[in-house]
Amino acid sequence: MNWRRSTYLLLTSLPRALHRRGFGVQSPWAYELIRDVLFEPLPYYAYDEQNLCTPMQQQLFRIQNHYKGRPIVIIDEKGEVAAKLYEETVQKVTPDTVLIMEHIHNENADLWTHTVNDPKAIITFDMKERGLVIFDNKRIKQNYLL
């Protein structure tokens, strides 16, 4: 590993470490979501039944389980296709809608920056490779870097 990559990893990991397990998060709602859903260390009841092997699959299952009954939109595409899907979603969004966006620091980095700055995206959770967007307009606009 070269020194530039090591420096980059160190500089991006330090701010994330402060909020990784919910520490420093003032909102009880966001703290509970971070601790009990996004980064729950204990296994769920259906990991083996549904062959959820990777941590990313398990996290997606926990998010869907937590928000059951609410519309969940998953954008797994990259580039222009993802941007088009995001614009279509934002036009039809309700306060109950939850958006999960993949590849937010690779192919969809510009789209994620646009999403964080979008006034309709009230709360965003940046989890390094995956982003979670809450459109509940009763809350204060905030971006969590986890």
Over the stretch 53-92, which tens digit does the pLDDT of each residue have? 899 999 999 999 999 989 999 999 999 999 999 999 999 9
Q: How many domains does the chain have?
A: 1
48: left (phi over 0), alpha (psi -120 to 50) or beta: alpha
The predicted model scores a pTM of 0.82
In the chain, count of helices (H) and strands (E)?
A: 5, 5
Q: Which two tokens stand for residue 58?
A: 């398990």
- List the one residue out of 75, 65, 73, 117 whose CA is nearest residue 93: 73
pLDDT at 17: 57
Over the stretch 115-145, which tens digit does the pLDDT of each residue have? 999 999 999 999 888 999 999 999 999 998 8
Amino acid at 73: V
DSSP 35: I
Instruction: Indicate the SS3 state at residue 15.
Output: helix
Strands (E), the chain: 72-75, 98-102, 123-126, 130-134, 142-145
- List the one residue out of 137, 129, 100 whose CA is nearest residue 115: 100
Range of the domain at 110: 3-145
